[in-house]
């Protein structure tokens, strides 16, 4: 059997670099060696790409990858430049197939304001929100009730996110969010069951995984610590919710995947309250670390990590042949 050479692109310059490094290493560890030859490509903080022991500018690294017979790139970058359509556009320019969503879907999903507007347009429930740029920082106000969620309008892993319980805490939370983004989002805090649901493109019909209910053990919400420190949260797959609600969660995740135009694998975060599903955001490059949610959900659906990676890669190769 001929093996396909797959570059695994990880690292990067965003605040989620550490998570990306863990994701990339876990992908390399779990790629099926009977089908694939992995080619690690690490993006340094200096924006140089390390491939075959050489640190190169991105165009030179991609030329070397093509010369070495790389057939596709497994994008394992998180945050800015990795999930916002930037790297996807670069790979398309060089004609190299890649995993995950395309330029537009990546950019839309990364922008929590635009994606929330899109969800609302398609009659999905979203928490009330306002968005402000740094130029508007003196005009920032919140007319709704407290608590309120203050977060960067882009980015992931809950970096820069705060739950503000009273007005006096707003300035500090806003400053923290602006440190991670040019746009800050103030969003109604909905107290309910926090759930997430992965969607995988399988042939023509996407598959919704069993949802996962997230129960932080020590903190009030699923923050960076709860996401990546083993034991910091309890994750229940499938959730301890009625079947009707589970179906609603899966249908909402499928619709989010479709309206954003996602490809490969996506994961949508939601809040369930009084049998209603509120959309939070969609992640177009879900983590693949030892504690990540999508591999756990895939396992509950009978799909191990090597098989999941295989399906993602095969989907990328199929899209390139259309």
pLDDT attached to residue 230: 53
The string of pLDDT tens digits covering residues 242-294 is: 999 999 999 999 999 999 999 999 999 999 999 999 999 999 999 998 889 99
Give the pair of three-digit tokens for residue 188.
Answer: 């109604």
pLDDT of residue 227: 47
Looking at residue 226, its pLDDT comes to 46
Q: Active-site residue numbers?
A: 16, 157, 292
Tracing tokens 């969620």 back to the chain, one arrives at: 149
Amino acid 290: pLDDT: 80
Residues of each annotated binding site: 269, 281, 283
Identify the pLDDT of residue 157.
57
Could you tell me the two tokens for 117? 């507007």
CATH of the domain at 278: 3.30.470.20
Quick one: which H or E segment has residue 33?
none
pLDDT at res. 129:
94
Here the CATH number for the domain that contains residue 167 is 3.30.1490.20
- Give the pLDDT score at 125: 98
Structural domain count, the chain: 3
Same domain, 26 and 111: no
- Residue 146, number of CB atoms within 10 A of its CB: 14
- Shared-domain flag, residues 222 and 312: yes
> 235 in helix, strand or coil?
strand
Alpha-carbon distance values, 133 to 8, 136, 208, 266 (Å): 35, 5, 35, 28
Spatial contact of 263 and 203, defined as CB atoms under 8 Å apart: no
Residue 140, pLDDT score: 78
Do 26 and 143 share a domain, yes or no? no
CA distance 94 to 116: 32
Do 285 and 316 reside in the same domain of the chain?
yes
Q: Are 124 and 279 in contact (CB under 8 A)?
A: yes
* 266 three-state secondary structure: strand
Of the chain, the end-to-end C-alpha distance in Å amounts to 24
Residues 186, 137: Cα–Cα separation, whole Å: 12
Helix (H) / strand (E) containing 302: none
Q: Specify the pTM.
A: 0.90
173 vs 263: CA distance, rounded Å:
34
Quick one: 175 and 57 in the same domain? Answer: no
Choose among 18, 155, 7: nearest CA to 75: 7
Say whether both 111 and 227 belong to one domain. yes
CA atoms within 13 A on the CB side of 278: 17
The C-alpha atoms of residue 252 and residue 200 are separated, in whole angstroms, by 14
Residue numbers of the domain that contains 144: 129-188
- Quote the CA–CA distance of 217 and 25 in Å, as a whole number: 27
Rounded CA gap, 10 and 18, in Å? 10
114 and 258 inside one domain: yes
CA dist 301 → 59, 158, 235 (Å): 39, 26, 15
Please provide the DSSP assignment of 165-222 as one string.
Answer: -SGGGHHHHHHHHHTT-SEEEEEE---SEEEEEEEEEETTEEEEPPPEEEEESSSSS-
Q: The domain that contains 57 carries what CATH number?
A: 3.40.50.20
141 plus 19 within the same structural domain: no
| Max intra-chain CA distance, the chain | 64
For residue 79, the number of C-alpha atoms closer than 13 Å in the C-beta half-sphere is 21
Q: Are residues 27 and 174 in the same domain?
A: no
Considering the domain architecture, whether residues 82 and 209 belong to the same structural domain is answered as no
Q: Which residues are annotated as a binding site for Mg(2+)?
A: 269, 281, 283
Closest CA to 82 of 13, 26, 5: 13
pLDDT at res. 109? 97
Q: Are residues 223 and 114 in the same domain?
A: yes
Residues 219 and 111 in one domain: yes
pLDDT (0 to 100) of residue 228:
43
- Confidence (pLDDT) at 291: 83
Last residue of a domain, one of 188, 204, 228: 188
Low-confidence stretches of the chain (pLDDT < 50) are 222-228, 322
């Amino acid at each position: 059997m001929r093996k396909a050479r797959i570059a695994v692109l990880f690292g990067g310059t965003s605040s989620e670099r550490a998570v990306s490094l863990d994701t990339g290493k876990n992908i390399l560890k779990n790629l099926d060696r009977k089908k694939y030859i992995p080619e690690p490509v690490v993006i340094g903080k200096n924006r140089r790409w390390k491939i075959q022991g050489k640190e190169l500018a991105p165009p030179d690294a991609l030329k070397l990858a093509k010369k070495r017979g790389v057939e596709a790139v497994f994008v394992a970058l998180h945050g800015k430049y990795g999930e916002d359509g930037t790297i996807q556009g670069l790979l398309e320019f060089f004609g190299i197939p890649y995993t995950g969503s395309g330029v537009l879907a990546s950019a839309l999903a990364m922008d929590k304001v635009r994606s929330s507007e899109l969800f609302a347009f398609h009659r999905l429930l979203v928490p009330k929100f306002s968005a402000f740029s740094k130029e508007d920082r003196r005009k920032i106000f919140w007319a709704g009730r407290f608590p309120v969620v203050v977060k960067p309008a882009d980015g992931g892993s809950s970096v820069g996110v705060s739950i503000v319980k009273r007005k006096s805490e707003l300035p500090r939370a806003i400053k923290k969010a602006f440190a991670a983004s040019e746009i800050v989002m103030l969003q109604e805090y909905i107290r309910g069951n926090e759930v997430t649901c992965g969607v995988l493109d399988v042939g023509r019909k996407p598959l919704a995984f069993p949802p996962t209910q997230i129960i932080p053990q020590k903190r009030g919400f699923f923050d960076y610590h709860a996401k990546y420190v083993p034991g910091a949260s309890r994750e229940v797959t499938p959730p301890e919710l009625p079947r009707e609600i589970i179906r609603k969660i899966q249908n909402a995740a499928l619709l989010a995947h479709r309206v954003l135009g996602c490809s490969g694998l996506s994961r949508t975060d939601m809040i369930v309250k009084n049998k209603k599903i509120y959309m939070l955001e969609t992640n177009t490059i879900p983590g693949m670390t030892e504690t990540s949610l999508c591999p756990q959900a895939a396992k509950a659906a009978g799909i191990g990590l090597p098989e999941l990676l295989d399906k993602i890669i095969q989907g990328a190769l199929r899209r390139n042949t259309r």
